[in-house]
Each structure stands twice: as C-alpha cells, then as structure tokens.
Amino acid sequence: METSNGSFETDFILLGFSDRPQLQCLISAVVFIFYVVTLVGNTTIILVSYLDAQLHTPMYFFLSNLSFLDLCYTTSIIPQMLVNLWGPKKSITYGGCVLQFFSALVLGATECLLLAVMAYDRYAAVCQPLHYTVIMHPQLCQRMVLTTWMGSLGSALILCSLTLKLPRCGHRKVDNFFCEMPALIKMACVYSKVIEIVVFTLGVIFLLVPLSLILISYGVITRVVIRIRSTSRWQKILNTCGSHLTVVTLFYGTAIYMYMKPQHSTSQNEGKFLALFYTIVTPSLNPLIYTLRNKDVKSAVKRLLGIDNC
C-alpha cells in the first residue's frame, strides 16, 4: 500500500540529520570526500598487494582483506546516505534496510576478528622470525580469514533475526542515517532483555576477547622489541605494529563504546556522530595509516608506476 508522500508502508524512513538541516550540506560534502578517499585508498592497497610479487606475504594478504571489508562496509551505507542527504526522499525499502543491517553486522564482526588475526601475524613475524613462513603458511592464512567470515555470519544471523522480530507497532522512522542495530532496537515498542544479553555476550566474544588477544600479542612483542639492538629492524617493527595498533584503537574504541553500553544509555545524537566516525572516517584513514608509515607499500606503488628510479 502506497502512502500520500509516495513511499510504501513497508519502507523505513531514515531520519539521519534531518533535525539539523543546516548541517546536511556540510555533512554530505564531507561524507562524499571521505568516501572517495576510502575507494581510492583501499582499492590501491588491494591492487598493489595483488600485482607486486614482493607483497605476496601474510601481512599484505590480511591487509587486502581488511581493505576489502572497508570497501564493502562503506559501499553498503554511504550511497544510500548521500541519496537521502541530497534529495527530499529519506526512505529505504524494507529489503534494503535488512540488507544494510545484516551487511553492517557481518562486516563489522569480521573486521573485529581480522584485526586479532593480524596481531597474531605480527606476533609470529617478530617473536618467531625463523619459523614465520612455516607458521603462517598460505593455507593457514586462508583458513583464518574464512573462519572470521563464518563466525561473523553466524552471529549476524542471530542478531538480525532477533532484532527484526521485535514488534515495532507501526513505527517506521529509523533515527539514524543507516539501518544500524541500536537505532532499530530503539524503534521497538517493547524492551527486550534477551536482545540486550545477546548483544552483550556477542560483544564480549567479538570485541573484548579479540582486543584482549591483541593486547597480549603486543605485550609479548614489546618485550621482544626491547631486546633488539638493530635500530633499523627495531624501527621497521615499530612502523608496521604502530600502524596496526592505530587502526585497532580507532576501530575498537568507538565499537566498544557503541555496543558494550546498554542501548538505552546512549543519546541518539551521540550515537549518530559516533556511527559517522566508524563508518566513514575510520575506513578512509586505514589505508592512509598503513601506507604513510610503510616503506614497502610506497616502494611497490613506485615500482608499479615505473618511477622506482626517479
């Protein structure tokens, strides 16, 4: 059934930043710029890692997967967001909302696990350098990435089915710029303790446990680095590990704040701007963080562009 404004009753209305119309033009311009940076930066990392034989290592295999995740994540959100910011129509179809919600869950959870896998890779490279190629063989790397995807898919199916079953009592307005779990839960006309427990439990599994493993890995790495007397090797380790730790801090900091707090304790405006940060800003910064501090990637780009000797 179609309503008077041309949208269907099954559609959702993405309120986004409609309560701040004076900011919409500025936000749309900033989002568009960050999206272009995300597309160019992450695509560059994937292509360079694939085309340059010297980067066919576990570290760049995982980094390519991280870039692929960021591309998928932003593309599932930003085009729809820009359409809503630029035009009068703020709706999204029910199917589009479900797809956006499910994609965000799968890709976000996969990134949580992948960052922990990358920390283990750095641990093996620094602490077991002589056995590194044996430990991190290609089959193991592929299995680790597949496991992160399968685990995330299972958790997303659980959360998605529980959230979409909540009664909405005809509510169609999603108070965010995309279909995200906290906003969809707040649309429900009943409070669900079950969902809050499930969200907290999966938050521990996908956020706190991987973060703890990352911190343990870097604790061991720090002890090893302190003993290294070679300044060049010490600097190289700090550059690669420092880049990863920066990405971990940006991603986990906002994700833990958003998902580990009780859903009713975060104000909606605060949630919107936090979501804006980890869906738009962080994916665009990841390739910059890794490439600006990484001589291998910069050298590979120069070789592929034919300016290695310039």
Residue 247 falls within a domain, yes or no?
A: yes
Domain that holds residue 292: 12-262+271-305
> Does residue 310 sit within a domain?
no
Give me the pLDDT at residue 6, please. Answer: 45
Phi, psi of 166 (to 5 degrees): -65, 135
Tokens coding 192: 């669900």
Question: Tokens for 136?
Answer: 């991190």
Please state the φ and ψ torsions of residue 12, each to the nearest 5 degrees. Answer: -105, 150
**Three-class DSSP category at 301:** helix
- pLDDT > 90: percent of the chain: 29
Residue 4 belongs to some domain of the structure: no
Residue 299 belongs to a domain: yes
Residue 147 in domain? yes
- φ, ψ of residue 299 to 5 degrees: the values are -65, -40
Q: Judge whether 5 lies within some domain.
A: no
Would you give the distance in Å from CA 254 to the centre of its chain?
A: 11
Spatial separation of the C-alpha atoms in residues 207 and 154, rounded to whole Å: 15
Name the region of 264 (left: φ>0; alpha: ψ -120 to 50; beta: rest).
alpha
pLDDT of residue 264: 55
* Domain total in the chain: 1
Partnered with residue 13 across adjacent β-strands are 91, 173
Q: Confirm whether pTM is higher than 0.75.
A: yes
The list of the chain residues with pLDDT below 50 reads 1-8
What lies within 8 Å, CB to CB, of 89 at 6+ separation is 6, 7, 83
**Could you tell me if residue 1 is inside a domain?**
no
Question: Which CATH number belongs to the domain containing residue 198 in this structure?
Answer: 1.20.1070.10
pLDDT tens digits along 58-90: 989 999 999 999 999 999 999 988 888 887 778
